[in-house]
Structure 1
Amino acid sequence: MTDATVTIDPVHVGPMDNVAYVVTCGRTQRVLVIDAADEPRKILATVGDDTSRVDAVVTTHQHQDHVQALGAVVAETGATTYAGEPDASAVTAATGVPIDVGLRHGSVVDVGELRFTVVALRGHTPGSVALALATTDGTHLFTGDSLFPGGVGATGGDPDRFEALISDVENRIFARYGDDVVVHPGHGAPTTLGRERPALASWRERGW
């Protein structure tokens, strides 16, 4: 997807169909990678020959399938690393990569002229985050494993974790953003908030 100010390239990698997103500022050509999940050469090939354009790598949460290419991508690009504060130490333990900036709800990540606003979505993991990006063609949400077509992310059958996640999704996403917002999940195909909104109450009722 592209417009005058941003290009969003989804890169499907690994056996679990993880989606790494290469987001490029159209005016400056600076790049943010969201979830260096697997297959680092494939991610970097999407960036192009000048991998020094990658200013930042945001990890949406600590799970192993979302971090397997982090070390290689950071070693190649020298990018600043970001993750939700409660997940940062686990990401480092899994990868050996220090997290330079811990993210909180409402934090911002600036890459070129693009500004990504952090939405903390607690429950799938303690430090799961989404990124909201407003562009000239509308708003895009990169939700990791916290929001998918058809429901929220897995919470291990724990009712407290589910309550935390469904409440954050309701209050921090659906109550704030409109139906035309595009959701880019950590696996599979994109959706919109308008497509998912009618089912929100049923997600809460079913408990997953």
Structure 2
Amino acid sequence: MSYTGDVRVGGPTAVRELDDAVVRKVAVGPGANNAYLVTCRRSGAQLLVDAAADPDRLLALVREGSPAARLATVVTTHRHADHVGALVSVLAVTGADLAAGADDADAVGAAADGAPVRRLVHGDTLTVGHLVLEVVALRGHTPGSVALALREPEHVHVPDAVPGRVHLFTGDSLFPGGVGATGGDPERFGQLLTDVRERVFDRFDDATWVYPGHGADTTLGAERPHLDAWRARGW
């Protein structure tokens, strides 16, 4: 079956096979948080985006990607409680490293019982086997919110692949229909929309696939026509 990104709590994993990577998506917890497992096809190394809830389901997801449970890193996109609920268990079982945006790292580390946290800043890279993911800081939903950008190779050999396409894991900073919540604060909203415009829409093309922290996936092409309307409405 082709990948759609449609998942539900208690349902099966959605799997997307790319040339160099496999992306797996599940929904967990009462908040129907999305968690994503990125597996390097050449090495088997893995990265988990948001150990949000239901550690048993997430550990099963890791085993789907690698029976040896080779999880290199957990990245927490931001510090909110619904995105950190399974951190302690997942880190304890897998021995994975933990990373989060610098301005959210203290809160994320506290949620992980004091585990050390790599403090990510805009433009950093994360290496997972032969994969390289770029850190894109998107300030506003929280001060340290980050997205991760994985770019497909220029030469691809699988039907679903688009040469050079970016796969962007945005946490709660960008969704179908708008940016993430900013508590009704005009300054935070302005910062987030500016970051999303300058660091995402101005850099990546319309084929870029967006994997948000909740709900359905989207593309930059689907969302780009609405940027001015988002600014006008103020949320």
Are 2:140 and 1:123 equivalent residues in the alignment? yes
Match of 2:207 among 180, 186, 189: 180
Are 2:222 and 1:189 equivalent residues in the alignment? no
Structure 2: distance between partners of 1:186 and 1:97: 24
Structure 1: distance between partners of 2:19 and 2:204: 22
Match of 1:47 among 38, 55, 62: 62
Say if 1:99 and 1:153 are closer, same or farther in 2 by CA, change over 3 A: farther
TM-score by length of 1: 0.97
Aligned equivalent of 1:84? 101
Are 2:23 and 1:5 equivalent residues in the alignment? no
Structure 1: distance between partners of 2:105 and 2:81: 13
Structure 2: distance between partners of 1:142 and 1:116: 10
Structure 2: distance between partners of 1:26 and 1:129: 24
- Alpha carbons 1:20, 1:35 under 8 Å: kept: yes
Match of 1:169 among 188, 191, 196: 196
- Deviations along 1:108-149, whole A, 9 cap, x unmatched? 000001100000000000000000000133210000000000
Structure 2: distance between partners of 1:8 and 1:134: 12
Q: Which moved more, 1:56-65 or 1:94-103?
A: 94-103
Alignment of 1:1-208 (within 5 A): 1-48=16-63, 49-51=67-69, 53-136=70-153, 137=161, 138-208=165-235
**Which residues of structure 1 form unaligned runs of 5+?**
none
Which residue identity lines up with residue 117 of structure 2 in the other structure? D
TM-score by length of 2: 0.86
Which residue identity lines up with residue 206 of structure 1 in the other structure? R
Say if 1:23 and 1:97 are closer, same or farther in 2 by CA, change over 3 A: farther
Which residue identity lines up with residue 23 of structure 1 in the other structure? V
Q: Which moved more, 1:169-178 or 1:1-10?
A: 1-10
For 2:30, what is the secondary structure of its paired residue? coil
- Deviations along 1:71-127, whole A, 9 cap, x unmatched? 110001101110000001011223314243100000000000110000000000000
CA RMSD of aligned residues (A): 0.9
Structure 2: distance between partners of 1:87 and 1:184: 20
For 1:46, what is the secondary structure of its paired residue? helix
Which residue identity lines up with residue 34 of structure 1 in the other structure? V
* Number of residues of Structure 1 aligned to a counterpart in Structure 2: 207
Structure 2: distance between partners of 1:56 and 1:20: 13
